[in-house]
Structure 1
Amino acid sequence: MTGKTHILGGIAASLAVAHTANENPLIMVGAGIAGALLPDICHSGSLIGKKFPILSRIINLIFGHRTFTHSLLFLVLASFLIDRFFPNDVLKYGLLTGMVSHYILDMATKRGIKLFFPLSLTVRFPLTIRTGSKIENLIFSILTLISFYFGYESLSWFGVGF
């Protein structure tokens, strides 16, 4: 998936969680976007990889792309580190929600992900799409609609009327 689709996936997922859990949607969305971009730190051409090129190259050299940073192990490690250094549940749930949305979107591609790293098992959906395809654009559009719906619902819950 492209970076813009991952960002929108993080927004849609974090708004849905914010609405369901009655949490602050602004913190959830900010953290959701960061979480949606974080797994691609292993790819120097990604949005986050371009911001941290040395770290991106090191991670890619050690693990490769869509392995450790796309795994449940990384998700658990991120959760532990957030608890240790930023003990804020809304921030934590937003980041983890964004990361999970990234994993789900990448599982919809032919390359899939190494969800159970260090095992070499590739996890992907039975039907996959090509990155940048018309189907990805359709997914982007659907995520946009979901974001508008849950954004409206979440902001209404917090007293921001339209």
Structure 2
Amino acid sequence: MMGRTHLALGAVAGVHLAALSPRMGLPIMAAALIGAILPDVDTPYSKLGRRLWPLSTLVLWIFGHRGGTHSAVFLVIVTALMWMVSAPVALALGAGIATHLAADAISFGHGTRFTARGAGVPLWWPLAERKSGLRLVKVNGPLENLVILPWATLYAAQLGWRLL
């Protein structure tokens, strides 16, 4: 999926979690949004990768796109590290990462960034390199841009409005 769709899905997770702990609403929303784009630190072409290009280039070289940063191991490690700082923020960060993994598990694309690793995510990396997922949504295609992105954006805005 595109970065904007990952952010919209992360916002959905964030507003649900912020509703459970309104005093922590802002850090929870920020963590969910960061988590939603964090796995794409593995490519210098992503929103986050362009801002952290030396790191993203290194991560791409080591893991490839949709490699180790798109796994359950990455989700658990990042969430556990944040848990030492704040449990509610860690849950939001983990939820954002989980939305990213779920979205990439059902999306596919074309071109050099996808041919090496294919569709889906290596959920069980490093135990298995095999991808998990279904080829349901073309990256930047009509289903993503005309259904998923608008729905997630409007749903998150509607839920967020209730929190105000």
| 8 A contact 2:83–2:89 mirrored in 1 | no
Please state if 1:107 is matched with 2:105. yes
Q: Give the deviation of 1:136 after TM superposition.
A: 0.3
Give 2:76's aligned residue: 76
**Greater shift in the superposed pair: 37-46 or 10-19:** 10-19
Q: Distance in 1 between matches of 2:86 and 2:107?
A: 33
Q: Distance in 2 between matches of 1:148 and 1:33?
A: 14
- Structure 2: give runs of 5+ residues left out of the alignment: 109-118
Give 1:2's aligned residue: 2
Please state if 1:151 is matched with 2:132. no
Give 1:92's aligned residue: 90
Give 1:128's aligned residue: 136
**Structure 1 counterpart of 2:131, one-letter code:** T
| 8 A contact 2:101–2:121 mirrored in 1 | yes
Q: Distance in 2 between matches of 1:148 and 1:12?
A: 8
Q: Distance in 1 between matches of 2:159 and 2:21?
A: 11
Secondary structure in structure 1 of the residue aligned to 2:138: coil
Q: Give the deviation of 1:90 after TM superposition.
A: 2.2
Give 2:115's aligned residue: none
1:24-76 CA deviation, whole Å, 9 max, x = no partner? 33222111111111000001100111111111111111111111101000011
Instruction: Give the TM-score normalised by structure 2.
Output: 0.86
Structure 1's 54 and 96: CA in aligned 2 closer, same or farther, altered over 3 A?
A: same
Q: Give the deviation of 1:151 after TM superposition.
A: 0.8
Q: Distance in 1 between matches of 2:3 and 2:79?
A: 22
Secondary structure in structure 2 of the residue aligned to 1:12: helix
Q: How many equivalent residue pairs?
A: 151
RMSD between aligned residues: 1.4
Q: Give the deviation of 1:2 after TM superposition.
A: 0.6
1:56-99 CA deviation, whole Å, 9 max, x = no partner? 11111111111110100001110222134xx1122111111111
**Structure 2 counterpart of 1:29, one-letter code:** M
